[in-house]
Chain A
C-alpha cells in the first residue's frame, strides 16, 4: 500500500496522470453518449466533467494540480476555433446565399440573450456587479471574461456562467427546436452557436455538418456583436 502511495505521489506531481484521465473520461463519456443514441441529455462534456469532478473530490486533488495536466487539452480550444474555417470554407457557397438570414439570426439571438438574461436576473434580485458578469454569458469564454471585466463584473464567475450557458444550450437545443418545428439545419445551428458558443457548436456538429458550420458562424459573429452591444444593454438595467 505504501508502494502505491509512493507511486501515486510521484505521478501526481507531473501532468501525465490528469491528462490521461481527462482523455479516458472523455472516451468513456463519448461511448456512453454514443450508446444513448446522441440524445441531448447524454452530453459528453457533462458526463466527462462529472466523472473527473468526482475523481478530484475523491482523491482530494486541487483544481490547479488537475489543470497542469489538462492545460494541454484546454490549449487546443484556440487552434480549434481557427479550424472552424474548414467547415465554413466547405459551406461557403451556402453561406453566401444566406448572408441576410445569418445576420438577422445572430442579431436577434444576441440581443435576446443579453436582454432576457439581465431582465430575469434583475427581477430575481441580482446586483449590478452580477448583472455585468452575466451579460456576456452567451459568448465564447475569452471574450466573455474580457467583456465582464470591462463592465465591472467578476472574470472567474463569468467563465463559470459561460460554461453553464454552453451546457444548457447543448442540452435544450434539440428538443426545443424540434418542438418549435424548426427543420432548417442552418437556422438550428446558427441559433445554438449564437446562444451557446463552442459547447453549443460542438453539439451542432454531432447533429449535422451544416448545423455545425452555421453554429461556428453564429459563435464568431456573436462574440463580436456582444462585445459591442452588451455595455449599452447593461446600462438599461442599472
Chain B
C-alpha cells in the first residue's frame, strides 16, 4: 500500500513539476494521471500494485470535496446582488452542457459505430 501511495504521489509531483516547467494550462494532477495511466499500461505489475489503493481513494471521492464545500458557505454572501444572475447561469448552463455533451457523444457514437459493450 505504501509503495502504491508513493507511486501515486510521485506521479502527482512529476505532473506538478512538468506542468509548471512547461507552462502548460493543464493542472499538475491531471498530467500525473496521464503519467500513471501510461505506467499502468506499460507494466501489469505496476497496474496490479496501484489498483487496490487507487480504487480505495476513489471510493470516497465525495469526501474530498467536503472541506472546500464548507468554505463555500462562508462566501455565499460574496455573491451579493448578482446572486440571482450567477445562480440562474450555473443551473441553466450546467443542465444545457450535460444534455449537449451527452447528445454529442451519442450522435458521434452512432455515426462512427462505437457501441457500448
Interface status of A101 (Cβ within 8 A of chain B):
yes
Please tell me if the beta carbons of A81 and B29 are within 8 angstroms of each other in the complex. Answer: yes
By beta carbon, the residue of chain B nearest A105 is: B105
B14 to chain A, nearest CB (A): 10
**Interface size in chain B (residues, C-beta < 8 A):** 80
A198 to chain B, nearest CB (A): 6
Known pairs A146-B25, A185-B116, A195-B98; A121 contacts B86 (CB<8 A): yes
A81 is contacted by which of B30, B74, B86, B97 (Cβ under 8 Å)?
A: B30
Interface status of B112 (Cβ within 8 A of chain A):
yes
Known pairs A83-B57, A104-B108, A121-B86; A190 contacts B102 (CB<8 A): yes
Please tell me if the beta carbons of A196 and B101 are within 8 angstroms of each other in the complex. Answer: no
Q: Which residues of B contact A159 (CB under 8 A)?
A: 68, 71-72
Question: 8 Å CB contacts to B: which residues of A104-150?
Answer: 104-110, 112-113, 116-118, 120-121, 124-127, 130, 134, 137-138, 140-143, 146-147
Q: Which residues of B contact A161 (CB under 8 A)?
A: 86, 90
Interface status of A7 (Cβ within 8 A of chain B):
no
Please tell me if the beta carbons of A63 and B64 are within 8 angstroms of each other in the complex. Answer: no
Interface status of B1 (Cβ within 8 A of chain A):
no
Q: Which residues of B contact A76 (CB under 8 A)?
A: 57, 64
B66 is contacted by which of A45, A92, A98, A195 (Cβ under 8 Å)?
A: A45
A83 to chain B, nearest CB (A): 4
Provide the B77-102 mask, 1 if CB < 8 A to any CB of A, else 0. 01100101111111111111111111
Please tell me if the beta carbons of B104 and A108 are within 8 angstroms of each other in the complex. Answer: yes
Known pairs A100-B108, A184-B109; A56 contacts B70 (CB<8 A): yes
Give Cα A232–Cα B21 distance, bound, in whole angstroms. Answer: 25
Provide the A149-172 mask, 1 if CB < 8 A to any CB of B, else 0. 000000011011101111111001
Provide the A171-199 mask, 1 if CB < 8 A to any CB of B, else 0. 01100110010101111101110111011
Q: Which residues of B come within 8 Å of A, CB atoms?
A: 5, 8-9, 11-12, 15, 25-30, 32-37, 40-41, 47, 50-51, 53-55, 57-76, 78-79, 82, 84-109, 112, 114-117
Closest 4 A/B residue pairs (Cβ): A109-B101, A86-B54, A105-B105, A227-B25
Question: Can you report 14 A-B residue pairs in the complex whose CB atoms are below 8 A from each other?
Answer: A25-B66, A45-B65, A48-B66, A49-B66, A52-B66, A82-B8, A87-B58, A105-B101, A112-B96, A116-B97, A117-B93, A163-B72, A168-B90, A169-B98
